[in-house]
Amino acid sequence: MPCIPQHFEFIDARSMSAALADAIEQEAKSALLRRGVFTLCLAGGSSPRQAYEMLAGKDLPWRDIHLFFGDERLVFPCHGWSNFRMARKALIDRIEIPSANVRRMRGEMNSAAAAARDYERRLRAFFGPGASLPEFDVCLLGLGPDGHTASLFPGHAVLEETEAWVVGVEEPTLPPAVRRISLSLPALNASKKIFFATSDCGKQPLVETILTNRTAVTRRYPAARVQARDVVWFTTQQL
């Protein structure tokens, strides 16, 4: 059953990033102690970049940690809009992690639907044939100004997906950088713990709306429909 989300406010982006990196480190050490493996699903956007840089400085056994991605644009991994590129520069290139432990979404594929099928196939190979959904130890998410999270946007049909783990968010008239791949709501909600992070203090009213009026806004804001068993929000204070 989903629990009431926790919410921590910080005075600035640096202190928020430090707390987020510390929280990830704590979850990693706990999972590694219990099972010898830790699965972390990364978010894109600007908010987690500094936390990734701080996380890279942690003393963690990266050979036992597996990285995944919550969403990606339909671009090559070297493109400036690629979530993988941001994570690679901020985290992956700074740590000693086997390349096989980094599972990026292949945004360079011809269509979002094909890329979604490819990523779901690889997720199922990792989590095993008995898995009904991927259970990440920690899944990081951001918040868009319209209430979207990952690449799940208000009013989009993929919000009603109940079977697929990964969905293509694709409109034929949109350019490749706008077409996207995203974990579905069921896949996000299967995570053991979700950390939402936003360093934009201007989004604080939206955060408060989502946290205090969850029933009323659930259908309007995709972020409010993320109701995993353990959700924690990291935000900066509105000045």
Q: How many independent structural domains does the chain possess?
A: 1
- Give pLDDT, residue 201: 84
Identify the H or E element spanning 181: strand 180-183
| 225 located within any domain | yes
More confident of the two residues 98 and 239: 98
136: domain CATH number is 3.40.50.1360
- The rounded percent of the chain whose pLDDT value lies above 70 is 95
| 1 located within any domain | no
| 65 located within any domain | yes
| Residue 179 binned pLDDT confidence (cut-offs 50, 70, 90) | confident
| 114 located within any domain | yes
112-165 confidence digits (pLDDT tens): 999 999 999 999 999 999 999 999 999 999 999 999 999 999 989 999 999 999
Mean pLDDT of 96-124: 96
- Give pLDDT, residue 26: 98
Q: Tell me the residue range of the domain where 175 lies.
A: 6-236
| 170 located within any domain | yes
Residue type, 170: E
Length of the chain: 239
Among 43, 125, 116, residue whose Cα is nearest residue 84: 43
